[in-house]
Structure 1
């Protein structure tokens, strides 16, 4: 019974910590987590010896959950939609994830340890979605995961900027997806049929 109670406490602490650090970033505290979780600060530290350990556990669990969501889409009947929808999902999730990451750095957590391993698992799942979308002809076949992930990170940073309105963020995503879409390759005949380029004014 005590083990069940301990597991329930741990899960509740992680749930609350995800909300607290996701909203407050580096300014959030373990005391606030304990208060909102309805446990004593000693209980929090019994499960997570340091603030860094707590934030790292939150980030690892978030990466793992995102990876599982991506893997669940690998059987989708429409690989292109699956890839684009998950890309959007990651961008929408960015502000919270960035805040938790900043809290981890501030707390002195090991960003290159478990969190990095979990992040790579998510990256591989995104790569699998990309490959399926490319095989289905929904994404251009001359891009690879590093470029796509660079676009994902950049777009996520833009989306995390609260000074931009939703319309601008949506247009930015549209531009990214247009760039990733398969394009008609221009042949020499196409160039000839178009005629000379207009002269600059």
Structure 2
């Protein structure tokens, strides 16, 4: 039987927490391409300290992004529990776009730029994409979303919203949501 992990020293825990906070801020503002040595510098630690806690850059991405994905998964689950299927889908769709606009690294990961966030999120039980797929199906069954819309369509629309650099992303989200609704004849 494997012994339980030893508790981390207080100073090591502070350093790890500082690296995570710094990485979260840097990835949100600048994206996932920021080098580890720059994150270490901004955190006020050496690159060896970062490497002890996060042996690869991907493991640092995972720690930061999976925490964010876990929060988004909980929000999607709450929306599904608290709203009708159409409202739940539209709320989560809009929230993901807002999150991506404010967190460049998350937007890059969701768009598939070099880090397989969906595989890591599935392993950590926080796959927001799966939740959104289910919300889409539920909303279509409820008649709130056009049945011809596919998940690939939704991802493409989200990518377009994330690429939009105008002054009012909510206006664009509203236009897309109107387009997702079934056409009344």
Q: Secondary structure at the match of 1:141?
A: coil
CA RMSD of aligned residues (A): 3.0
Looking at structure 2, the residues matched to 57 and 36 of structure 1 have their Cα atoms a distance apart, in angstroms, of 18
Q: Which runs of 5+ in 1 are unaligned?
A: 106-110, 186-201
Q: 1:178 to 1:17 in 2, by over 3 A?
A: same
Looking at structure 1, the residues matched to 53 and 69 of structure 2 have their Cα atoms a distance apart, in angstroms, of 20
Q: List per-residue Cα deviations over 1:163-185 (Å, max 9, x = no partner).
A: x212xx33322221111112223
Q: Secondary structure at the match of 1:165?
A: coil
Determine which of 82, 85, 97 is the counterpart of 1:76: 82
Q: Between Structure 1 and Structure 2, how many residues are aligned?
A: 171
Using the TM superposition, name which of 47-56 and 26-35 deviates more.
Answer: 26-35
Q: CA deviation at 1:148?
A: 1.9
Q: 1:41 to 1:2 in 2, by over 3 A?
A: farther
Looking at structure 2, the residues matched to 148 and 14 of structure 1 have their Cα atoms a distance apart, in angstroms, of 31
Q: Secondary structure at the match of 2:8?
A: helix
- Give the number of the structure whose alpha-carbon radius of gyration is greater: 1
Q: Which runs of 5+ in 2 are unaligned?
A: 1-5
What's 1:134 paired with?
140
Looking at structure 1, the residues matched to 16 and 132 of structure 2 have their Cα atoms a distance apart, in angstroms, of 29
Q: Secondary structure at the match of 1:182?
A: coil
> What is the TM-score of this pair, normalised by structure 1?
0.68
Q: CA deviation at 1:38?
A: 4.7
Indicate yes or no: 2:157 matched with 1:174: no
> What is the TM-score of this pair, normalised by structure 2?
0.73
Q: 1:116 to 1:155 in 2, by over 3 A?
A: same
Please say if residues 17 and 33 of structure 1, whose CA atoms lie closer than 8 Å, have aligned partners that are also in contact. Answer: yes
